Homo-oligomer: A and B are copies of this chain.
């Protein structure tokens, strides 16, 4: 029970500055932490498999802490009638190593705390593999589907790996806003946000609607401009969070809400250093996953991956190879001299289609490849011109198997006069006066990039549909749960 509120008790403790208290620990343990030769251990979990033998029932229990279930051995007579696949249980018993060198629980007591009747509508049957399209219909049960259960742990570890990478390099994590009055790239595919229209009813007056914010407010498409603000005080910054596109695309590569990792820095001098930084990031996060959850990686690829894709990372280790670099002009030459193998025509000076991107990756033995030095007219306003050729910008795209572009970045235009002109031409001068002021007062050149987190996971896991690498996917006409 609670300690009674007692100021005298408190005053005794004030000033002792203990950082831990000595209340009771929870009695429940997690499967990932279990060791053999312990007695009277309690866990909670769900039943992932059930085998009835002559005298015993063998019950596999999972609790989400590990891909590996705990085998619980029960006397047949001790097994509750309600015991079946999918139900939740409390179990207590002794841990021993069995003849397969795995920890199992013996002398077990088991209590069913939540039944799970397949006939009543639970969508998954034991030991059955389902299509991802089927599993995706049941977003609220998907965390209990084995491959997706692993995916949650992978996203968690990848997130850890990302923060660890930037911490080591001295980058500061900046919480850039979701709500913003600029749409960054000016591409127009933005969501707008407001308070709901007032409903007819009490206090209703049919007056002119008043906006919640004075400016039109959008959901962010990129944290870049805000990172540029922060970099001009902190030098090296990054953000990692959701971004939004109101594109009417139901393709296997698009979501309305997806995670983007963006970084901005004052410390790099050349496009070569920038692509090197991105390769470092990808190698580091991939290594982190290999070292911390290789089993979950394997389970994900096995249960959710599509190994029939014509372009794919055949081994996770392919993501640890050095990524070569080619210029836009070199890539264009490759596409032109292979035009007979392409369905969509390519013309120099245009952007690549998805087919072109995937062709270039295949041409590179399905190892990711950087394309650098892009034509100015197909890239956004903020990219910096090359000294050698003012029609080209200091930008790169990183193309990967399965999905094409995963990451893009550039140096940012830091010349005040040049940028003023560009903003005028794009009718952005009013909205982005503060962006110009960043160049006016104590300006430094910055560069940065944005990496699509879900697409990176798609590459690594050979997962065809981006909706299957995020817990709660949103796409046009779909915002379930």
Contact = CB atoms under 8 A, between A and B. Distances in A.
A194 B191 contact: yes
B44 A234 contact: no
Interface residues of A, number: 152
A152 B233 contact: yes
B14 A139 contact: no
Nearest to A189: B195
Contact of A471 (B17, B23, B174, B194): B174
Contacts of A443: 88, 113-115
A7 B364 contact: yes
Contacts of A440: 120-121
B365 A30 contact: no
Contacts of A320: 17-19
Interface in A380-404: none
A260 to B, nearest CB: 12
Contacts of A117: 441
Interface string A431-448: 000110111111111000
A234 B143 contact: yes
A46 B442 contact: yes
Interface string A167-191: 1001011111111111000000011
Contacts of A254: none
A458 B303 CA distance: 46
Nearest to A372: B2
Contacts of A3: 324-325
- The copy count of this chain in the complex is 2
Interface in A19-41: 19-21, 23-24, 26-28, 30, 32-33
A116 to B, nearest CB: 4
A178 B242 contact: yes
A476 B212 contact: yes
A272 B242 contact: no
A273 interface: yes
A5 B443 CA distance: 34
Interface in A68-100: 86-88
A283 interface: yes
A104 interface: no
A64 B265 CA distance: 11
A273 B24 contact: yes
A478 B182 contact: no
Contacts of A241: 241-242
A330 interface: yes
Given A19-B287, A44-B266, 9 more contacts: A9-B324, A21-B322, A116-B441, A122-B442, A140-B438, A153-B172, A155-B174, A175-B242, A178-B242
B140 A437 contact: yes
Interface in A110-132: 113-117, 120-122
Interface stretch (A50-58, A213-221, A348-356, A419-427): A213-221
Nearest to A215: B479
Interface in A238-287: 241-242, 244, 246, 248, 256-257, 259, 266-269, 271-273, 276, 279-280, 283-284, 287
